[in-house]
């Protein structure tokens, strides 16, 4: 029932002014840019969007502005990153996202207690689903253990899918593990909405029943992501586009963390505003920015 959410999503940057407050005047400009370059939708306040750095009130005003994209792009889908270590804040954010008309919530597990059990995680997610997600609305888990220290196991996914079939949609898989992509496909086939978080793995994930992707590089490389997606929809593959994505991912991984690089590149390569970063993130050094831009241009 969640097939409508399949596709290519950008893990959207968050426009910020120099005072570190959201640059609301640029939110629609960025989403319009992404829509015009082949994205089916965008995830706000994921890792690339510096989500954990923002207060509930800051996220709310950006989400409130973002839904206006539907005035020019009625079919553009919006997902909100609403997971925090606080159950109460996660409930508040998730409820707000659905009340504003977002298509789904992508929810990190409660990080900090890295050794938490599947039983504990199930109880936590069950509370979020029961109290914040109406039937037909879509909640996805966000599996990024390198950042959170907490894995969302296939066993936990099975329990959530069986327990909440009309509300638990699937997972954003940012493990970067090709074997895990295979295991997800074997365990669920097309019954689980699986969105890959790694551009390099898009073709591989799609061959293993993934539903699309949510990636940082979609801020720059969504045309190639869309070429791979469209080819897969035709039962084909686009190895040339995937090769460019592989090369672009190599550049990204040489200049981590991603938000400083991507904010510099959209400004330098696509004439979008030069947005600030929330501390502790710092802008790229000028010589690194120039070098990275040359590397991306060479791929094209």
Report the 10 Å Cβ neighbour count for 167: 20
Q: Is 142 a catalytic residue?
A: yes
Calpha distance 58→106 (Å, rounded): 17
Bridge partners of residue 139, in order along the sequence: 105, 168
Give the chain's radius of gyration (CA, Å): 18
Q: Are 73 and 32 within 8 A, CB to CB?
A: yes
Where b means 16+ CB within 10 Å and e means fewer, 225-249 reads bbbbbebbeeeeebeebbebbbbbb
Question: Of 9, 14, 47, 215, which residue is the catalytic one?
Answer: 47
Residues in CB range of 228: below 8 A, 6 or more apart: 202, 203, 206, 237, 238, 241, 242, 245
Q: Are 9 and 45 within 8 A, CB to CB?
A: no
Question: Of 48, 82, 84, 142, which residue is the catalytic one?
Answer: 142
Question: Of 82, 172, 194, 215, which residue is the catalytic one?
Answer: 172
Q: Are 103 and 79 within 8 A, CB to CB?
A: yes
What is the enclosing helix (H) or strand (E) of 188? helix 178-188
Q: Is 112 a catalytic residue?
A: yes
For the chain, the farthest-separated pair of C-alpha atoms sits apart, in whole angstroms, at 52
Q: Is 47 a catalytic residue?
A: yes
Bridge partners of residue 17, in order along the sequence: none
DSSP state of 78: E
Region of 20 please: left (phi>0), alpha (psi -120 to 50) or beta: left
Calpha distance 68→253 (Å, rounded): 33
> Hey, which residues are catalytic here?
47, 112, 142, 172
């Amino acid at each position: 029932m969640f097939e409508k959410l399949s596709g290519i999503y950008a893990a959207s940057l968050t426009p910020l002014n120099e005072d570190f407050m959201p640059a609301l005047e640029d939110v629609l400009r960025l989403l319009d840019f992404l829509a015009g370059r082949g994205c089916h939708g965008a995830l706000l306040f994921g890792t690339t969007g510096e989500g954990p750095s923002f207060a509930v009130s800051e996220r709310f005003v950006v989400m409130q502005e973002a839904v206006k994209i539907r005035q020019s792009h009625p079919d553009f889908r919006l997902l909100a990153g609403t997971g925090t270590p606080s159950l109460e804040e996660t409930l508040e954010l998730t409820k707000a996202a659905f009340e504003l008309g977002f298509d789904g919530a992508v929810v990190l597990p409660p990080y900090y207690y890295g050794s938490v059990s599947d039983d504990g995680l199930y109880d936590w997610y069950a509370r979020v689903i029961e109290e914040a997600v109406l039937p037909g609305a879509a909640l996805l888990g966000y599996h990024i253990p390198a950042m959170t220290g907490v894995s969302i196991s296939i066993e936990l996914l099975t329990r959530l899918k069986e327990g909440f079939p009309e509300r638990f949609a699937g997972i954003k898989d940012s493990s970067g593990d090709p074997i895990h992509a295979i295991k997800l496909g074997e365990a669920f086939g097309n019954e689980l909405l699986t969105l890959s978080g790694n551009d390099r793995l898009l073709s591989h994930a799609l061959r293993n029943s993934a539903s699309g992707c949510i990636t940082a590089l979609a801020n720059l490389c969504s045309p190639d992501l869309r070429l791979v997606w469209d080819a897969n929809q035709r039962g084909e593959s686009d190895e040339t586009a995937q090769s460019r994505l592989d090369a672009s991912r190599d550049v990204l991984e040489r200049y981590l963390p991603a938000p400083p690089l991507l904010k510099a590149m959209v400004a330098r390569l696509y004439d979008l505003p030069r947005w600030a970063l929330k501390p502790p993130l710092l802008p790229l050094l000028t010589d690194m920015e120039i070098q990275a831009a040359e590397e991306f241009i060479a791929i094209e």
